[in-house]
Amino acid sequence: MPALFSELFASLGFAFMQRAFVAGTFVALSCAILGVFLVLRRFALIGEGLGHVSFGAIGLCLLFQLHPVYFSIPIVVIASLWILYLAEQSKVQGDAAIGLTAALGVATGVLLASLGGGYNVDLFSYLFGNILVISPTEVRLSILLSLVVVAVVVLLYHDLFVTAFEEEYARVQGTPTRWINVALVVCTALTVVLGIRVVGIMLVSSLLIFPAISALQIARSFRGVLIYAGFFAVFSVWLGIVASYFWDLPTGATIVFVNFGCFLAASAAARLFGR
C-alpha cells in the first residue's frame, strides 16, 4: 500500500496527469451542478441527445480538419436551442425532441465518418473519451467555460430553483422562465462538449445524471444536493483517472462505473438511515 501511494504521488509530477485532474475537476463540478436542475426538470436526457449531436459536429470538424472542441461548441449550442424550441413551441414532446435531434446527430456523424474514410483514432478518442491526453489549451478552455457555467448558475440560482420545482408557479410569479430555460440548455451544451474529453460522447450524459441522482438519495436540502453532487462527481473523476492510470483501463468507462458505485452506496445509505 505505501508503494502504491508513493507511485501515485510520483505520477502527479507528470504534466498530463496534472492536466487531467485540473480539467476533470472543473468539468465534473459544472456537470454535477447542472445535472441537479436537469434531473429535477425531468430533462436529464438532453445530455444524451446533445452528446449524439456532438458526434456529428466532431465528425464534421475532423472531415474539414478543424479543432473538434472549439468548432463543436456553437453547433451543439444551436442544437440545444433547437431541442428547447421543439419542446416549447411545437407539438413535439421534450423526450421526442431529444430523440429526434439525437438520431439526426448520429446519422450526420456516421455519414461524415464515411466520407472521411471511416472511423479513425481521433474519432474513437472522442467517442469514448481519454482525459489523459487532454491538451493544455483544452484545459484552459475547460476551466474558462466551467467558470462561466458556475457563474450563470450562481447569478440565476433563485430563478433556476423555482423553475426546477414548479415552472407554472414561477411563470405566474413573473420569473422569465423562457430565458431561464435558454440559459439552462446553453450551459448544458457547453458542459456536454467539455465532458466529451472526460468520458466521451457515448457516456457524457452519465456526468450529468449519476452525481445528481446519487445526491438526491441522501441530501436533506437543495443546497445539500448540490454539495453532494459536486463531491460525487469530483470523487468519481479523480478515482477514475487514478484507476485508469494504474491498471490501464479506459478512463471514461472507469469514471462511469465509479459513479455507479457512488449511486449504489448512496442508495444503501438512504435505506439504512431512512432518508
pLDDT the model gives residue 199: 79
Q: CA-to-CA distance for 110 and 121, rounded, in angstroms?
A: 15
For the four alpha carbons of 180, 183, 186 and 191, in that order, the dihedral sign comes to negative
pLDDT the model gives residue 92: 64
Nearest residue to 53 via CA among 15, 103, 11, 17: 103
pLDDT the model gives residue 36: 92
Helix axes 177-199, 46-63, angle to 10 degrees: 60
Q: Count CA atoms closer than 13 A to 57's CA, side-chain side.
A: 27
pLDDT the model gives residue 50: 87
pLDDT the model gives residue 102: 79
pLDDT in tens, the chain (275 residues): 566 667 666 777 778 888 888 988 999 999 999 999 998 887 777 887 888 888 888 878 777 777 777 788 888 999 889 888 887 776 666 667 777 787 888 788 778 777 765 555 566 677 777 777 788 888 888 889 889 988 999 899 898 888 888 877 778 888 888 889 899 999 999 888 888 877 777 778 888 899 999 999 998 888 899 999 999 999 999 999 888 888 888 888 889 999 999 999 999 998 887 65
pLDDT the model gives residue 229: 95
pLDDT the model gives residue 72: 84
Question: Global pTM?
Answer: 0.86
What homologous superfamily does CATH list for 2-273?
ABC transporter involved in vitamin B12 uptake, BtuC (1.10.3470.10)
